[in-house]
């Protein structure tokens, strides 16, 4: 069994707890163990937490879950692009997959509920697929 770690943003804690529930279900279905669930303040902290997980010998991949909601400025867009770029760089640096289940940037509140579980599931499935190919 391969192991993964999950990094979660606590800014939208209620919704992200639902994402975590879905991620656990999909991980179990895919035969993945979850060796760490790391809560961080928001998306800016996710790359460092993911890096710490990828450095572990017992972690074959990681998943980032959270929400970057539409704000009144471009902060969310800038942050979202920086975070995704950093996560891609970490995949390539460690040659371990990072499944990204971050809603947004720029998502409207009404768009969040129907996407919570599908995004979490897709992030774990992407990670699992690449672990299997490894």
User: What is the residue range of 2's domain?
Assistant: 1-70+86-106+113-130
In this structure, what are the phi and psi dihedrals at residue 37, rounded to the nearest 5 degrees?
Answer: -125, 110
Per-residue pLDDT reduced to its tens digit, 29-65: 999 999 999 999 999 999 999 999 999 999 999 999 9
Number of separate domains in the chain? 1
| 78 domain residue, yes or no | no
Torsion of CA 69, 80, 3, 58, to 10 degrees: -130
Within a domain: residue 14? yes
Provide the annotated active-site residues.
Answer: 75
Q: Does residue 81 fall inside a structural domain? A: no
Task: Give the model confidence (pLDDT) of 84-134 as tens digits.
Answer: 999 999 999 999 999 999 999 889 999 999 999 999 999 999 999 999 998
């Amino acid at each position: 069994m391969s192991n993964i770690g999950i990094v979660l943003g606590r800014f939208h804690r209620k919704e992200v707890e639902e994402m975590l529930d879905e991620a656990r279900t999909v991980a179990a279905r895919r035969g993945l163990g979850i060796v760490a669930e790391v809560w961080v303040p928001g998306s800016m902290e996710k790359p460092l937490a993911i890096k710490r997980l990828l450095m572990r010998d017992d972690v074959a991949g990681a998943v980032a879950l959270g929400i970057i909601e539409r704000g009144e400025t471009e902060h969310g867009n800038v942050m979202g692009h920086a975070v995704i770029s950093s996560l891609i760089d970490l995949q390539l640096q460690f040659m371990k997959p990072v499944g990204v289940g971050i809603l947004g940037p720029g998502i409207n509140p009404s768009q969040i509920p129907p996407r919570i579980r599908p995004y979490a599931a897709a992030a774990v499935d992407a990670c699992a697929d690449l672990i299997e190919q490894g």
